């Protein structure tokens, strides 16, 4: 079955960077966009951007432009999301989510289990 | 960006009752709207996409309707496992955006 397994929780200091991984299995990794979504404690969902695992092309939400980098390693079916210059506002659960198998449809299914990133001095 | 406003914020119902959740967009998103269910400690799960299409494995008691700016998620008869938070999401324009969520709680 399709599965996305993310890396473990991280604690970072303000100003640092974090890199979260998302290992995919059960489908052809390069065939579907991978998205990243975050959720601050007690808050709603916020789309950060997406990567085309085939080409490596990315689209980022303007809010994160200049601070986020999404990459992938097709040899191990893994996507990465790196966020730099962290502040306490970046404390959140970060999810990777696979684009569904409908052409042009940016809906997310399934999602990874989430990675809690805590930014604290 | 397109703002999605969900109402009510909280819906208090009993098992077996019908739930009606609303999502309103700040501008037309045509039929490009999805609904997700989120339970505590779990990742969100896709329920409905393109306003009215059930995702794989989603029970028939979940249905979606609407177009343009007004959308509805209906749960025909609440099961105990349906008490959760529900989010809508649009893909009509970038950035992709989510609503603030509706919590369906046990009355």
DSSP structure string for B67-95: ETTEEEEEESS--GGG-SEEEEEE-SSSS
What was the pLDDT predicted at A102? 80
Tell me the C-alpha to C-alpha distance, in Å, between residue B4 and each of B7, B20, B37, B98.
Answer: 10, 16, 16, 6
Show which of residues 57-86 on chain A sit within 8 Å of chain B, judged by CB atoms.
59, 61-63
What was the pLDDT predicted at B100? 96
Q: Residue A95 and residue B87: Cβ atoms within 8 Å? A: no
Q: Does B45 touch chain A (CB under 8 A)?
A: yes
Nearest to A32 by CA among A118, A106, A117, A113: A106
Looking at the complex, report in whole angstroms how far the Cα of residue A48 sits from the nearest Cα belonging to chain B.
8
- Over residues A107-116, the pLDDT tens digits come to 999 999 999 9
Quote the mean pLDDT of chain A. 96
| Percentage of chain A lying above the pLDDT 90 cut | 95
Kindly tell me if the per-residue pLDDT of A104 is higher than 80. Answer: no
- Please give the span between the terminal C-alpha atoms of chain B, in angstroms, as a whole number: 35
pLDDT in tens, chain B (107 residues): 999 999 999 999 999 999 999 999 999 999 999 999 999 989 999 999 999 999 999 999 999 999 999 999 999 999 999 999 999 999 999 999 999 999 999 99
What was the pLDDT predicted at A11? 98
Q: Residue A114 and residue B43: Cβ atoms within 8 Å? A: yes
Contacts of A106 (CB under 8 A, 6+ apart): A33, A35, A50, A99, B91, B96
What was the pLDDT predicted at A88? 96
Nearest to B88 by CA among B27, B41, B22: B22
Which of the residues B29, B86, B87, B95 would you substitute to probe the A interface, choosing the one with the greatest number of A C-beta atoms within 10 Å?
Answer: B95
What was the pLDDT predicted at B80? 96
Kindly tell me if the per-residue pLDDT of A21 is higher than 80. Answer: yes
Q: How confident is the model at residue A103 (pLDDT cuts 50, 70, 90)?
A: confident
What was the pLDDT predicted at A34? 97
């Amino acid at each position: 079955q399709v599965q996305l397994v993310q890396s473990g929780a991280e604690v970072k200091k303000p100003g640092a960077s974090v890199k979260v991984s998302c290992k995919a299995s059960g489908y052809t990794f390069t065939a579907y966009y991978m998205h990243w979504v975050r959720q601050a404690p007690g808050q709603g969902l916020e789309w950060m951007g997406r990567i085309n695992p085939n080409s490596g092309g990315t689209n980022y939400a303007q809010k994160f432009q200049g601070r986020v980098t999404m990459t992938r390693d097709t040899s191990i079916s893994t996507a990465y999301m790196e966020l730099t210059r962290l502040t306490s506002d970046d404390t959140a659960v970060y999810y990777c989510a696979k684009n569904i198998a409908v052409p042009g449809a940016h809906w997310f299914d399934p999602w990874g289990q989430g990675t809690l990133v805590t930014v604290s001095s | 960006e397109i703002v999605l406003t969900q109402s009510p914020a909280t819906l208090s119902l009993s098992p077996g009752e019908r739930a009606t959740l609303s999502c309103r967009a700040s501008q037309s998103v045509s039929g490009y709207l999805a609904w997700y269910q989120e339970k505590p400690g779990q990742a969100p799960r896709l329920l409905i996409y393109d306003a009215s299409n059930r995702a794989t494995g989603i029970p028939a008691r979940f249905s979606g309707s609407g177009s343009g700016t007004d959308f509805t998620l209906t749960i025909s008869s609440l099961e105990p496992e349906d008490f959760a938070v529900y989010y809508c999401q649009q893909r009509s324009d970038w950035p992709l955006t989510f609503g603030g969520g509706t919590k369906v709680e046990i009355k």
